[in-house]
Every structure is written in C-alpha cells, then in structure tokens.
Homo-oligomer: A and B are copies of this chain.
Amino acid sequence: MDEFMQAAIAEARQGLAEGGIPIGSVLVHQGRIIGRGHNRRVQQGSAILHGEMDALENAGRLPAQVYRESVLYTTLSPCAMCSGAILLYGIPHVVIGENRSFLGEEALLQSRGVALQVLNDADCIALMQQFMAAQPALWNEDIGE
C-alpha cells in the first residue's frame, strides 16, 4: 500500500488510541500531505469532524486550484457530508481504504465525475469491524442512525 493510505491508517489508529472512532484521512497535493486528520466526535464532542473533514480543516484555507490538483485518502467510504465537501471543493480523486463496513455516497461522487479507488484493505476493515462491534451506539451516532 502506498504511504498516503498508511498515513490515513496511522491517523485512524491515533483516533482509536484517543478513545475515538478509528477513521483517518489525508489530503495530498502533488505528492505531499497538506492536511491530515481523524474523526473527533468523542475527543472534541464534534458533530462535523469526521476524518475527512478534519483533514480538510487542518489543511486550512486553500485556493480552489489546489483542491483540484489533490487526492483525498480516507480509511472508510465517505459519508454524505464528507462527499459533499469533496464536491464543494472539486477534489477529483479519492482513495478509499474500504467500503465493506460502510458504503457512503460513492455513486453520487462518481456521477459527478470524481474518480474513486477502493482498496478494501484488510487493516482498514479490521479497524472498523472491531470498533463497530465494540461500540455500536457510537458508530450509529456518527452516521446519523
């Protein structure tokens, strides 16, 4: 696996170590990580800091052109909110660690021309499966169910 998905997994593991939901993400521009993050629902009591949102927030304010030259890596298929952020900023390419534990808005993203690459990586799947089994109520809260 490439270094960027490894960095997203490292973020997910950091979130788990903090008692949080193990989903991580990095934003990569021209071969360099410019934002990294992980889900902060537990740690910050946040309703909006999913892993992808945290990575975008930590990347800071950027010109539109930077997003359009970037790739977003996320350990889990992006939900409606994170998919909407991808569309807002016109990020053209998303690499997804896995979509077996949760299938987000991949069809919407593809219908708008976003290129998706789904790895179904064993580490990403194991992180989510263990978390979902251990804390189903927290997981349901995170996806609005």
Q: Are A56 and B47 touching (Cβ within 8 A)? A: yes
Q: Are B85 and A48 touching (Cβ within 8 A)? A: yes
Q: Are A145 and B64 touching (Cβ within 8 A)? A: yes
- Which bucket holds chain A's interface residue count? 20 to 34
- Interface of A with B (CB < 8 Å)? 41, 45-48, 53, 56-57, 59-64, 67, 79-85, 87-90, 105, 108, 140-141, 143-145
Bound: A48/B41 CA distance, A: 15
Q: Are B90 and A84 touching (Cβ within 8 A)? A: no
Closest to A50 in B: B88
Q: Are B57 and A88 touching (Cβ within 8 A)? A: no
Q: Are B80 and A141 touching (Cβ within 8 A)? A: no
